[in-house]
Structure 1
């Protein structure tokens, strides 16, 4: 058993049933992803469309590809033929473009609305009010080729565990509150390598784990 398989096995064992593991493979070579694939992992998350498309072209076709990074509307067309879930949807304009490109390929693309929970200015996302307005928008309801299936949030990049927990709890409470009105919302994507256990305790149904599986990222290229 190689290192990636071993780490993957340890993480899968620590995650309760009903929580989906997205292996965040950005900047990692296909050989690393294939190690994870051979160990049974079928969901991979990337944050650059070009890199994800290149990997999709060379790797087995039973993989579910998740776009976890910020998405520019002009890039949607490149991933529309294959992407399974887009995590960071934060505008009607982007939803409309995803719908348009999905339609061309006769597909429905799943989306998560990104809610801004972090204190940092750099993080993207909708306010709770904006997310509700989007879900209530008649034009959004008429987008036949997108399926809004939940929410995603990114906590502040900090060592303050209390702050991270507060941010997770905030989005989890919002998720629980609106699920009653919008039963199609089934996914809460919060938690990464350093804090996924805390995120699961707060109610996460999907965790995005990269460095704990593949090791530190290579940002040289």
Structure 2
């Protein structure tokens, strides 16, 4: 299993590099961070991915991440990528290096309060629901800039950029226009006057669509199944 995970991880890395070379409107040399999503996979599988080169791991559920953090520790960067409920914020802020799924000002305020309580500045991404899918969380495009201005004013948050999820289209090429638009929004956000923020991250793309996401400007992708195989429930 360890060799399989290592081979899969390196295969994803190679596909990311190949996708970068297919970019047409985005600098080919711009780096891409690969977040290995370890949801429903045990710490043995995590360690195998880390041995293969994984420096960033992503978890969907706070309790699962908290348990794994106790065992794995801070030898990797921890990404919380799943929907975060306000009643789990206290636990999440303790271990998360980057929270991807800030989908409302209310949640941002809760994270800010908890970060202030433990004297931490918490890095976050704002989740954008560009396709306006009812099944997904996120801030709509028309509300985004006002929300970012309000979040920028929260002293214990550091806004690092944006996250989105494309619809799970059977034809993955249908994701391309959405990713292209997200990259344009990301560029526009970089031009905003957000003095306490550091807008450097566009997190988009998962196992089924990460290559297209990289081609269209993602500099962070969240890949689980292509590295670890089907989830172990």
TM-score bracket for the superposition, by shorter chain length: over 0.9
Task: Judge which range, 203-212 or 17-26, deviates more.
Answer: 17-26
Residue 7 of structure 1 and its aligned partner are, at CA, apart by 0.9
Q: Does the 8 A contact of 1:76 with 1:97 survive in 2?
A: yes
In the alignment, structure 1 residue 10 sits paired with structure 2 residue 11: yes
Partner of 1:80: helix, strand, or coil?
helix
Residue 131 of structure 1 and its aligned partner are, at CA, apart by 1.4
- For residues 179 and 220 of structure 2, the distance between their equivalents in structure 1, rounded to whole angstroms, comes to 13
Q: Give unmatched runs, 5+ long, in structure 1.
A: none
What does residue 216 of structure 1 align with?
230
- For residues 127 and 110 of structure 1, the distance between their equivalents in structure 2, rounded to whole angstroms, comes to 21
- For residues 172 and 41 of structure 2, the distance between their equivalents in structure 1, rounded to whole angstroms, comes to 28
**Which of 189, 202, 205 is the equivalent residue of 2:203?**
189
Q: Does the 8 A contact of 1:7 with 1:212 survive in 2?
A: yes
For residues 57-99 of structure 1, the C-alpha deviation after alignment (integer angstroms, 9 at most, x for no partner) is: 0113222111101110110101212200111111111111111
For residues 151-180 of structure 1, the C-alpha deviation after alignment (integer angstroms, 9 at most, x for no partner) is: 001000111334211111121111122212
Using the size of structure 1 for normalisation, the TM-score is 0.93
- For residues 105 and 39 of structure 1, the distance between their equivalents in structure 2, rounded to whole angstroms, comes to 34
In the alignment, structure 1 residue 156 sits paired with structure 2 residue 149: no
Q: Does the 8 A contact of 1:21 with 1:207 survive in 2?
A: yes
In the alignment, structure 1 residue 167 sits paired with structure 2 residue 181: no
Between 1 and 2, higher relative CO (CA 8 Å, sep ≥ 6) is seen in 2
Q: Give unmatched runs, 5+ long, in structure 2.
A: 18-29
- For residues 170 and 115 of structure 2, the distance between their equivalents in structure 1, rounded to whole angstroms, comes to 39
What does residue 93 of structure 1 align with?
106
Residue 119 of structure 1 and its aligned partner are, at CA, apart by 5.1
In the alignment, structure 1 residue 81 sits paired with structure 2 residue 82: no
Q: Does the 8 A contact of 1:119 with 1:156 survive in 2?
A: no
Using the size of structure 2 for normalisation, the TM-score is 0.88
- For residues 83 and 108 of structure 2, the distance between their equivalents in structure 1, rounded to whole angstroms, comes to 13
- For residues 53 and 28 of structure 1, the distance between their equivalents in structure 2, rounded to whole angstroms, comes to 14
1:57-72 to structure 2, matched below 5 A, reads 57-72=70-85
1:1-150 to structure 2, matched below 5 A, reads 2-16=3-17, 18-118=31-131, 120-137=133-150, 140-150=151-161
Residue 182 of structure 1 and its aligned partner are, at CA, apart by 4.7
- For residues 164 and 182 of structure 1, the distance between their equivalents in structure 2, rounded to whole angstroms, comes to 30
- For residues 80 and 186 of structure 1, the distance between their equivalents in structure 2, rounded to whole angstroms, comes to 21
- For residues 61 and 89 of structure 1, the distance between their equivalents in structure 2, rounded to whole angstroms, comes to 22
Residue 217 of structure 1 and its aligned partner are, at CA, apart by 1.1
